[in-house]
Amino acid sequence: MSDTDRGNRLLPVENLRDDIVGIDTVVPVLDGTERRYVFLDNAASTPTFRRVLYWIEEFLPWYSGVHRGTGFKSLLATDAFDRVHDVVGRFVGADLSTSCVVFVRNTTEAINKLSNRFPFAPGDVVITTVMEHHSNDLPWRRYATTVHVGITDDGQLDLGALRRNLAQYKGRVKLVAVSGASNITGLCSPIHDIAEWVHAAGALLFVDAAQLAPHRPITMLDDADPRHIDFLALSAHKMYAPFGTGVLIGPKAFFEQGDPDVVGGGVVDVVTLDKAFWNHPPLKEEAGSPNVVGGIALAAAISVLQGVGMENIQAHEHALLEYCMKRLKGVRGITLYGPTDTLQGKVGVIPFNVDGMHHALVAAIMSTEGAIGVRDGCFCAHPYVKQLLRVTSEQDAQLAGRILAGDKADIPGMVRASLGCYNNEEDVDRLVHMVERIAHREYRGKYVQDTATGAFHPEGFRVHYGRYFSLFEDGEVSLPRGYAESS
């Protein structure tokens, strides 16, 4: 059912804020007070939907191992876990008659699985891009000649270069691996156009949807459509369900061929002392006891996202991105990376630097004085970040030498603010206000850099985390309260 078909059954996007665990959390700041925490690091991991917790709690009394038990709880849990696969497949518009949804731990594991399982032959080529997260680059390098398509001056994927590479390597290119949205600039690739070019070149398309799935509707399309996506991966912890699952989706026929990459319990139908006969996928690909609770959590999060409607989430986040960029463009003394005017093809990831200041110092001040959670560095996409920063290859080689010698003082990087579906203008105002203060050097603390890590720490600011999280109240793991009292 499309979001519009759901009509007035949709939950208003504004209500999502009430559904976020920890939305009102306060944290200590440098002046000795506590402030409401503004979380703007959703590209790394999102907070949890309350309704995810609700469904996990409802499920836990029924929790049991799946696929092998005969008791009622095991049957119920198996039924639920099997359904979860279909929920995810439908969420990304996969054709469930031909596709298979495989549960793994995260996108990284999904891509590694695909690379382990892909029947590469010597000389085969994978085309990927310099924009990729390392997880969509390093696995390919182990098995195939990996070609990296470059970017344009403003950080967009060079589609002309992609097409030239497809022509140049036609016959040898077996797979093209692109991100649906970048974790650095939020730029989205035209995945269906790319699919058409890739299929015409006789190759298959993998889309890393880790940053796309939480923000935009996805339709993998049916296999007969030349614009369909062959393989796709996503992570639940970026979709408001941080309980250790991710998914790889691809053709059933693909997973039927060859041996599974991880073997053991669950993947086999029959085992003799010298032979093993594999189960059908997805069982064949989910070795060992699966993360059933993580799967339930992902399905519950999808239910919330669909309850609001991915089109509505996209529109809300886009309006917030426009607002944020407009305000940040008015701040003097900062550099924004990637396109700043045409934002249509971008999810809410905003990379910037404060001129003349180390990115790690800016991020430390944001946290310590502004109670704002952002991230800094190269975000597991070193080649892309360094190209955006115009680091030359000589500088890169020198930096690498210093970093490998243990000195990260000058490690290149950016600050990244990233929006989720529950953020609002007040969150953006807090961000912009803090960026302005930092750009005007109106911060109060004295920060010292640890050159071994590159991180900055405020002098004299000590926090006792045990005050906020009681499991480690005294540094050691605590006894449950009742136990401690009676002992």
Q: Which two tokens stand for residue 64?
A: 């049991």
> What is the pattern of x (binds ligand PLP, CB under 6 A) and - over residues 158-197?
---------------------x---x--------------
Residue from the set 210, 304, 343, 350 that interacts with ligand PLP by CB under 6 A: 210
Residue 91 identity (one-letter amino acid): F
Is residue 251 helix, strand or coil? Answer: strand
Asked if 324 is an active-site residue, the reply is: no
CB of 15 to ligand PLP, least distance (A): 27
Nearest in space to 323 (alpha carbons), one of 239, 419, 238: 419
CB of 213 to ligand PLP, least distance (A): 10
Q: Pick between residue 99 and residue 211 the one whose CB is nearest to ligand PLP.
A: 211
CA 235 to chain centre: 6
Residue 245 touches ligand PLP, criterion: CB under 6 A: no
- Contacts of 262-270 spanning 24+ positions with Cβ under 8 A: 262/287, 262/288, 263/287, 264/288, 265/289, 266/67, 266/68, 266/290
Task: Kindly tell me which of 128 and 211 has the beta carbon lying closer to ligand PLP.
Answer: 211
Q: How far apart are CA 421 and CA 419, in angstroms?
A: 7
Distances (CA, A) of 228 to 36, 161, 224, 331, 345: 44, 21, 8, 42, 19
Phi (first) and psi of residue 39, to 5 degrees: -95, 110
DSSP codes of every residue in 429-461: HHHHHHHHHHHTT-----EEE-TTT--EEETT-
128 touches ligand PLP (CB under 6 A): no
Question: Which stretch, 61-69, 89-97, 129-137, 223-231, contacts ligand PLP (CB under 6 A)?
Answer: 129-137
Residue type, 36: R
According to CB under 6 A, which one of 42, 48, 99, 106 is a site residue for ligand PLP?
A: 106
How far apart, in whole angstroms, are the C-alpha atoms of residue 151 and residue 130? Answer: 7
> In terms of DSSP bridges, do strands 246-251 and 231-235 run parallel, antiparallel, or are they unpaired?
antiparallel
Residue 144: alpha-carbon gap to chain centroid: 25
Closest approach of Cβ 286 to ligand PLP, in Å? 17
Q: Which of 42, 99, 107, 312 binds ligand PLP (CB under 6 A)?
A: 107
Q: What are phi and psi of 346, to 5 degrees?
A: -145, 135
Residue 235 touches ligand PLP, criterion: CB under 6 A? yes
Q: Which is nearer to ligand PLP, 102 or 201 (CB)?
A: 102
Annotated catalytic residue: which of 100, 188, 378, 380? Answer: 380
Contact 180, 207 (CB under 8 A): yes
Task: Specify the stretch interacting with ligand PLP by CB under 6 A; choose among 102-110, 282-290, 405-413, 429-437.
Answer: 102-110
CB of 163 to ligand PLP, least distance (A): 22
Which of 46, 129, 165, 211: binder of ligand PLP (CB under 6 A)? 211
Q: What is the CA radius of gyration of the chain?
A: 24
Task: Write down the least CB distance from residue 126 to ligand PLP, Å.
Answer: 16
Q: How far is the CB of 237 from ligand PLP (least distance, A)?
A: 6
Find the part of the chain contacting ligand PLP (CB under 6 A) among 106-114, 285-293, 387-395, 406-414. 106-114
The count of chain residues that interact with ligand PLP, using the rule CB under 6 A, is 13
Which of 107/165 has CB closer to ligand PLP?
Answer: 107
- The residues binding ligand PLP (CB under 6 A) are 106-108, 133, 135-136, 179, 183, 208, 210-211, 235, 246
Residues assigned a catalytic role: 380
